[in-house]
Amino acid sequence: MIQRGLSILGRAIREQPRIFAVAVAGSVLFGGLVIASAYVVGAVVGDVVVPAVESGEVGTGTLALAAVALFGISVLRVVGIFGRRLGAGYMQFRLQAAYRRRVTRRYLDLPLSWHHRNATGTLLSNANSDVEAAWYPIAPLPFAVGTLVMLVGAVGSLFATDWALALVGLAVFPALFALNVVYSRRMAPRQARAQRLRAEVSGIAHESFDGALVVKTMGREAQETARFAGRAGQLRDALISVGRLRGVFDPLLETLPSLGTLAVLVVGTIRLRQGAISVTELVSVAFLFTVLAFPVRAIGWVLAELPRSVAGWDRVSRVLDATGEMPYGDVALADDGTPATLAFTDVHFGYAPAEAHLPGAQVLGEVTFTVPAGRTVALVGPTGAGKSTIASLAVRLVDPDSGTVSLDGVDVRRLTAGSLASTAALVAQVPFVFDDTVRANISLDRPGIDDGEVWAALRLAEADGFVAALPDGLDTMVGERGTSLSGGQRQRLTLARALAGRPRLLVLDDATSAVDPRVEAAILAGLRSPAPGQQAAASILVVAYRRATIALADEVIYLEQGRVLARGTHSELLATVPGYVDLVTAYEQAEQEREQNRTYDEVAPLPSGLEIEVDR
């Protein structure tokens, strides 16, 4: 544990060498002055106080000189403390900030399949409390390094003073180290369990808050509270176990230096009677042991925090070392405003299992089709047919196990990140809206998207009307996940967000399911016309359910169990594919029932900010 912990500290020093050098310099200055102050105090007692007591006279000049010496040492010690603490704090916070960025960047690089296997609460804990724990020992580290230098100097001074007193010091200091080693070995499993429970508590809290709608409508408040309380109680017990162990060892670590001082006084008195040392030397050594008690504790602080640091680092490095990222290529497509061509060629894909020993789920097999430039292709199929997976493959959220997905004849794996993002845009099933203004949600701070572009995108998404009616228009705060908006309004905002980037390929994964069919028809009709700044309408791949939406497509791809069973126009499939007819008819019947029982965007959100959305 100590070896692993020290290797983590070594990494920190290599990453922040200059700041660490400043902090250690302040600590060494402080340590040297601690030793110096002990001998100055000894000289004052032996050469000023004792003679004054014996003679009954006090030399003013001698006292003034002693006072100046003590004051000067105190001022320099303050400088050393300031440099040590400033450097240590700056180093610690820089490392924490840097590794939070690295962890977050790694999250964005890793594929969705990796995120599906890791709970959100755990990921939040990795980027927050685990990073803090990994670098927690940095704060006392410079002090501990300076203390080691100070101990070497102190032992040297002891041998220069008297060999018997030096042996006392050699007995006390190793005992301190041995006690800290035992402490670290016992603390390690407790700290690891506490870090794991912190992540689990965070995960349960996140699930409960994120699923507030389900919790409330299902009446599960008491059960969720009990589930959270149970895990929080386990974390409490784990932290109490940590505190109990500290309560046992901290007094021992505090007592050893005091016992050393007592031993010095006993041995020193004997040596003084023998004439081996003077009063000045005895006072200096006794005072040195007294002032060393606190700095030596800095070594204990570092060793005591190493188990927590190792536990946090293990959890952080699990993210940093995770594999599966999808590197981008170096090919950039021409952004000339013309629609793009999307092609799937013999694509196979399966999701990795949640656990390594379980078999994966094969989702797609032998999928081949093309979305010609400027055309609209609809994906239709029953639940689990692979429609959303195809949408994810089209914008490279995941890569196929075999086969190719290409844009304008170029494998998407060869494209640069910027070229892919500017060419293709996905509007997902579940709309995600940031807790920000309407303007910020549409533009995402992308260059070239001014208010005029924002309004143009809103008009195409049939969202300009309700946005104009909002209290502050584009400056209206929409709340966390857009809770102040209805489901259809959120969907239209996310559609406008995609359109604002002028994509050459638009992938709609059931992106208008929560809007009125009349509004949906207007949106899809508008998408077939060129957007401002484009020469022609974007190519569209749409996951469709409503008959009216499907009928607008130039071609329909019918899927079952991850395979393309039929393709053609809507009327051709109605005439030749019974399964397609049954599915579309069932969708139409369900739509008619919803029309009779549900009001769409015209209904304002519930007062609580929640809305009830009927599953399709």
| Residue predicted with more confidence, 111 or 560 | 560
pLDDT, tens digit, for every residue of 151-178? 777 778 778 878 887 787 777 767 777 7
Secondary structure class of 595 (helix, strand, coil): helix
The burial of 414, by beta-carbon neighbours within 10 Å (0-12 exposed, 13-18 middle, 19 or more buried), is given as middle
pLDDT of residue 607: 41
Domain architecture of the chain: domains with CATH: 1-321 (1.20.1560.10), 342-600 (3.40.50.300)
pLDDT of residue 205: 77
pLDDT of residue 592: 66
407 C-beta neighbours (distance < 10 Å), count: 26
- Decide: 103 and 126 in contact? Cβ < 8 Å: yes
pLDDT of residue 218: 66
| Residue predicted with more confidence, 590 or 242 | 242
pLDDT above 90 as % of the chain: 10
pLDDT of residue 501: 82
Measured CA to CA, the distance from residue 127 to residue 133 in angstroms comes to: 11
The secondary structure of residue 504, as a DSSP letter, is S
Q: Which residues pair with 566 in a beta bridge?
A: 558
214-229 average pLDDT score: 76
Tally helices (H) and strands (E) across the chain. 22, 10
236-254 average pLDDT score: 82
Q: Say which range, 62-66, 247-251, 471-475, 567-571, has the weakest mean pLDDT.
A: 62-66
pLDDT of residue 348: 92
Q: For residue 611, name the pLDDT band (cuts at 50, 70, 90).
A: very low
| Residue predicted with more confidence, 469 or 207 | 469
pLDDT of residue 360: 55
Q: Above 90 in pLDDT, residue 97?
A: yes
Q: Above 70 in pLDDT, residue 505?
A: yes
Q: For residue 32, name the pLDDT band (cuts at 50, 70, 90).
A: confident
Q: Above 80 in pLDDT, residue 64?
A: no
230-259 average pLDDT score: 82
Q: Say which range, 194-198, 254-258, 371-375, 571-575, has the weakest mean pLDDT.
A: 254-258
The burial of 118, by beta-carbon neighbours within 10 Å (0-12 exposed, 13-18 middle, 19 or more buried), is given as middle
Q: Above 70 in pLDDT, residue 371?
A: yes
pLDDT, tens digit, for every residue of 168-216? 777 776 777 777 777 767 776 787 788 778 777 877 777 776 666 667 6
Q: For residue 405, name the pLDDT band (cuts at 50, 70, 90).
A: very high
Backbone dihedral angles phi then psi of residue 242, each to the nearest 5 degrees: -65, -45
Q: For residue 239, name the pLDDT band (cuts at 50, 70, 90).
A: confident
Strands 342-351 and 361-371 come out as antiparallel
pLDDT of residue 584: 82
pLDDT above 70 as % of the chain: 85
E strands, 315-429, in order: 342-351, 361-371, 376-380, 402-407, 410-411, 424-427
Q: Above 80 in pLDDT, residue 511?
A: no
129-151 average pLDDT score: 85
